[in-house]
Structures are given as structure tokens and as C-alpha cells.
Structure 1
Amino acid sequence: MGTLFVGGALSVTLVALAYPAMLGVNTTSSDGSRIIAQTQWGPLTEADRDFVVKVRAAGLWEYPVGQMGLKKGQSKGVITASKHLVDGHAALDATCRKISTMLNITIPNVASPQQVGFVNTLAADRGKQFDTDFANILRVTHGSIFNTIAKIRSTTKNTMVRALADQANDTVLDHITVMEQTGLVNFDQVLFQQTTPPKLPAKDLTPPPPAAGQPEVVLTPPADSTTQPPVLPGESSASASPSPTVR
């Protein structure tokens, strides 16, 4: 396998939440439980904020990789997994963008340098090498964030973050499953990389904040999408319809 680098503004007591200084394997501070805002949906901690940004950043590279897999995949399993990536992350990102507005969290428009490196590796692959790297890179990254989701879900006191964690849990478990069903996952290597991640500098793990006035990137659901964003607490079914592709 190739080398793995592996709204609601008024309801928040702070005018704006500082963009996370560090994401990825590390945390933004020594105490992720520090409350940074009181909202009508419950207190928001540093860990909660970082989780929302991580979900957004994951979609920003996995969604285009799914589109890439639909074109470059050599096996039926990789094609199927690619469809799941595009479908799942479009729905997950719709929820993430909505929640970030409600909680006044700044989210990125570009993935982290590490994640862009994953995309570049797969873009350079050809033939069966693409399928192998695709399955293993994505199994490592999904396996790594799976534990983060569980921790956030079990500790957050914020209703909206909890709803995002529920959806992320279902999506990531589905993606782990379809990667394994390709038959290409090297479990010894994957588990080693999950438990001994490379020690990268903060700049490689942090997606850049969006430029002032930059339109928000929207991950458009496929025409044959089978996944819809869930109805959030306090929402009606009508208000939970997918966001437009341009705004």
C-alpha cells in the first residue's frame, strides 16, 4: 500500500467560537471538557466544537474520494463503497453545516493537509493499486474516528452535538463495513496504523479556516441518494429537508 500519512447565533453566549488550533489525533487543549459556550441546547465544550469540525473536514476529503472511486474503482466492492461514501457524507455534512450555524461554530471549506495528502495519493494511483489503497486508507481513518464518536456521544451534554454523533456513528460504521467487504483490507497493517498514528505537526492536522466572504462548500447529495439527514431535536420534518446546493 502507498505511504499512509497515516440560525442560532443569538442563542450562544459568545459572539463567535475561536477556530480550533489543532485537530486530528491531538486535541485543542489539555482539557476538552472546558465549556466555551452556553447554548439553548446545552453547554458546548472544546471537544464538542472540535468534533463538529472533524466531521466537516472528513466529508471534505472522503466525499471527493468517493466520487473518484466511482470513476477509478476496479472492483464491484470498491464501487459500492464509493457510493456509500458519497451518499453518507452528503447527508452527514448537511447536518454538520446546520448544527455549526446553530452553535456558531466556524467550519472549514478545505480538508487538512494530511487529508489532502490522502486524496493526492489516491489520485496518483492506477488500477488495482487504487482499490487497495482506497480500502486501507479509508478503513484506517474511519476506524480512528470511530472511537472519537463514541467518546463524544457518551460525554457531551449538548443535544445537537449528540444528534450529530448519532448520525456519524451510523455513517462511519456503515463505511467501515463496506471497506471490509471489499476483501482488500490488510487488518494487521490497518490496526497497527490506528493504534500508532504518525506524529504530525499541528499544521498538517488542522484544516484551514475559511477565507472571509468565501461561499460555504456544500456536498451535494447524489440523484439516487438513499440517505437523508435526520430530523434534529425540536425540528419538524419539513424543516429538515436538505439544504440547497448553493447558498
Structure 2
Amino acid sequence: MGGALSFTLGSLLYPSMLGVQKVSSAPSRVIATPATGPLTEADRDFVVEVRAAGLWEYPVGQTALKKGTTKAVRAVGEQLVAGDAALDAACRTAAGQLGIDLPNQPSPQQQSFASRLNAETGKQFDTDLATTVRTTNGQFLTTVAAVRTTTRNSLVRALADQVNSTVLDHISAVEKTGLVDFGQVLVQETTSPNVPAQNLTPPPAVAGQPPVVLTPPPNSTASPSPATG
């Protein structure tokens, strides 16, 4: 990987796959008590984060299908599109049942991920895609584990299970390309750059605006809803 990638990743990749600011002052505070179990601030933030992640990663997958120069990179695109579409459907279902408002756009930071990759071509695109997706998904596993082991809400547990499976699928796909710069991955997963909070927060959906739907590809076998809670 070149110096340009090192600078870009160091500037953008925080706090993980999501690029979402952790705004909760008391993550363990219970904010609702639906039939599926107590819902905390951390649970709510997690659902929003899952939504925001798909909103930037899904179109990147579509770009990989078009611009990937190898079969393995195009396979990453297929994995991102199918997995994120199924995961987003499950996320929207859970949010609806839990009364959680979801964004229709990713955070400014996440938009910069997609913009950078959209501007690249050839081998540079392939290598930046592989390393970016590996870094963000690898770091997000920590968040998934924390939520899965602490939440008391069955819908959030089911969503965390599907997120975990999807993230591991994405990691496996990019590693098969042989293009991941693991040195960069390690640096980015263990470093916390100073990123303005406003760049990490997805804008709220406009009132009355229908939710953006990530359409699954034809003949997709990914399940949109792992459980009903």
C-alpha cells in the first residue's frame, strides 16, 4: 500500500466500520421496556450504527462489482451487497418494533469512505477497498461482542448475531483477495485519530421521508430476518 492510503485511513477510520459518534452519556441506562426486554442507550446506538454501516458499505459493494479488476474483488462486492441488504432489512424491522429512529444517510466520515473509493480505479481501488473493509469490519467485531454479551433485549441479540455473521463473511471475502495490508489494519484498529464529532454522526432522517431501502440482489440467499424477538 502507498503513503496516500496510509494518510487517508489514518484520517478516516474511527471509531470503526460505522464512523458513528458514541453520544450516549450513560450507555447502560434503560430508555424503554418493550416486550422483548429492556432497551438501553447502547442497544439503541448499536441499531443506528448497523443501519449507518450499510448505508455506506452497500454502495461501495456495488462499485466493486463494476470496478473490481479481479474475480476476488468482484466477489467482495457481491458479498457486501447481499449481506448488507439482508442485514439492513433486519435492522429496519428491529428498529420499527423498538421505536428507534434510523438515519437515511451515513455519517460525513462514512460518505468520505465511499467518495474516496468512487474516485479510484484499477489496482489502487482494489487494494484500498480490501484494506478499508478489513479494517472497519475487524474493528466492529469488538462492538458486536460487547452488545451481544450485555443486551437484555432479544431483538438486539438476534440482530447482533446476524451482524456478527455478516461481518465475518465480509472479512473472509476481502482476505481471499490477497490485497489486505495487515500492517495498516493493525495501526488503524489500535489508533484513535482526533475526528470531529459532527463527522461521525449520521444526519437524522427528514421528517416524513420514506426509509432508504437497500435492495437485495436477484437470487440472494441471505436471510433478511434471523428472528422475530
Bigger relative contact order, structure 1 or 2 (CA pairs below 8 A, ≥6 apart)? 2
* Count of residue correspondences: 218
* RMSD of aligned residue pairs (Cα, Å): 1.3
Q: 1:97 aligns with which of 86, 92, 108?
A: 92
Secondary structure, counterpart of 1:36 in structure 2: strand
Unpaired runs of 5+ residues, structure 2, are: none
Give the deviation of 1:230 after TM superposition: 3.2
- Asked if the contact 1:28–1:46 (Cα under 8 Å) also holds between the matched residues in 2, the reply is no
Give the deviation of 1:228 after TM superposition: 1.5
| 1:64-213 equivalent positions in 2, closer than 5 A | 64-213=59-208
Structure number with the higher helix fraction is 2
Aligned equivalents of 1:74, 1:198: Cα separation in 2: 31
Under a length normalisation based on structure 1, what TM-score does the superposition of the two structures give?
A: 0.85
Q: Amino acid of the residue matched to residue 137 of structure 1?
A: T
Aligned equivalents of 1:25, 1:222: Cα separation in 2: 27
Aligned equivalents of 1:219, 1:186: Cα separation in 2: 29
Q: Residues 231 and 171 from structure 1, CA distance in 2 versus in 1: closer, same or farther, beyond 3 angstroms?
A: closer
Instruction: Please say if 1:216 is aligned against 2:211.
Output: yes
Q: Amino acid of the residue matched to residue 133 of structure 2?
A: L
Give the deviation of 1:197 after TM superposition: 3.0
- Asked if the contact 2:20–2:49 (Cα under 8 Å) also holds between the matched residues in 1, the reply is no
State the partner residue of 1:9: none
Aligned equivalents of 1:24, 1:160: Cα separation in 2: 23
Secondary structure, counterpart of 1:39 in structure 2: coil
- In the TM superposition, what whole-angstrom CA distance separates every residue of 1:123-150 from its partner, at most 9, and x where no partner exists? 1101110001000111111011111000
**Percent of pairs with identical residues:** 59
Give the deviation of 1:81 after TM superposition: 0.8
Q: Amino acid of the residue matched to residue 46 of structure 2?
A: F
- In the TM superposition, what whole-angstrom CA distance separates every residue of 1:171-200 from its partner, at most 9, and x where no partner exists? 001101111111001111111101103221
Instruction: Please say if 1:32 is aligned against 2:27.
Output: yes
Aligned equivalents of 2:132, 2:101: Cα separation in 1: 27
Secondary structure, counterpart of 2:44 in structure 1: helix
State the partner residue of 1:15: none
Instruction: Please say if 1:44 is aligned against 2:35.
Output: no
